[in-house]
Structure 1
Amino acid sequence: MEQVVLLNESLAPCGVMPKSKVHTTNTPLHLAFSCYLLNDKNELLMTRRSLNKKAWPGVWSNSFCGHPLPDESLSSAVHRRGQWELGIDAQDIQLIDNSFRYEATDTNGIKENEYCPVFIAKTSTTPVLNPDEAMDYQWVHYRLVLELVAHAPRLISPWMSMQLKNSHLQLYIR
């Protein structure tokens, strides 16, 4: 059973909980990450979350997200989840925002409450979607992503919208 690292308000680990029990209407603060994948054309991979996802099913989001296992480094978790969700080999993994923390509640009342460092990575691999995680993908130019967030924010995950406004992604994607 996959475990999620719980955090206190100082962002220090304070326990673990089964992933299946973390995301509820009263989600505890926990450690996660977001990753944005770029291809050789400097296009960003957006994925559409599976309809089986507990929170924000069917919305478009960043390339992939996940939770590091206890005693797993964030970069190892990024690599592991890229393979699991998309069948890709993430290369040149870089931490670009180590301060992102957010809370958001979806229409079903499921709450996210995460300290979520943001990574960027490269891949030349064609995604092979794990249907439990993603139902579609699209390689897009960064300016189109910004237009989507501006004009159709409900189609985009809240964490992606916040990360695009608050992170240093624009320095890496042009």
Structure 2
Amino acid sequence: MRSDHIILVNEHDEPLATMEKLEAHQKGLLHRAFSVFIMNAANEMLLQRRAIDKYHSGGLWTNACCSHPMPGEEVQDAAHRRLQEEMGFDCPLEKLFTFTYHASFDNGLTEHEYDHVFLGAYDGAIMPDATEVAEYGFFSLAEIARQVRDTPERFTYWFKVAFPMIKEQLKPQ
């Protein structure tokens, strides 16, 4: 597996090829990704503020972790790997849904992702990688919704797309 390569896909998430991550983001090509959302027993969501020097969206608040599976790696395995690498823990994850989004950034890079969304529950110790995470915390869904409404510029593009869908999934039935 090459950690610097990602999986290009079509609109049905069928693999087409692999490409170096930066090149895929420069060209804005659709690729496979995942986003992990974590809740605690108090029904609060874990958010992280991305490290300032991330290649895009540095310093913005987002879900627990997100990344790309490597060629040959199952998406759920990649989600567990990345949760451990970024936040220093792992927990059971349930796949909730997928969505596609397209966002261009000031630095010339473009995210065009077929995003697999996972949800987990965790209440233990968190030991984030400082090169990935500037800060983190658990917040109520109401507080997150208020912050996204009042200061949307403080959040990643994909979080603002996924959060309402996650919130809807978490509503008592």
Normalised by the length of structure 2, the TM-score is 0.90
- The answer for unaligned runs of 5 or more in structure 1 is none
How many aligned positions are there?
A: 170
Shift of 1:19: 2.6
**Residue 80 of structure 2 contacts residue 90 of structure 2 at CA under 8 Å; is this kept in 1?**
yes
How far apart are the structure 2 equivalents of 1:76 and 1:28?
A: 23
Shift of 1:69: 1.7
Alignment of 1:105-144 (within 5 A): 105-144=104-143
Normalised by the length of structure 1, the TM-score is 0.90
How far apart are the structure 2 equivalents of 1:95 and 1:37?
A: 12
Alignment of 1:144-155 (within 5 A): 144-155=143-154
How far apart are the structure 2 equivalents of 1:126 and 1:32?
A: 26
Specify the alignment match of 1:53 in structure 2: 54
Specify the alignment match of 1:71 in structure 2: 72
* Pair 75,11 (structure 1): closer, same or farther in 2 beyond 3 Å: closer
1:170 aligns with 2:146: no
- The answer for unaligned runs of 5 or more in structure 2 is none
How far apart are the structure 2 equivalents of 1:125 and 1:5?
A: 32
What is the letter of the counterpart of residue 59 of structure 1? Answer: L
How far apart are the structure 2 equivalents of 1:43 and 1:6?
A: 34
Using the aligned pairs only, state the percent identity.
29
Q: Which runs of 4+ in 1 moved over 6 A?
A: none
Cα deviation per residue 1:28-75 (whole Å; 9 max; x = unaligned)?
A: 110001111112222100000111211111000111101112222221
How far apart are the structure 2 equivalents of 1:56 and 1:69?
A: 21
Specify the alignment match of 1:94 in structure 2: 94
Specify the alignment match of 2:24 in structure 1: 22
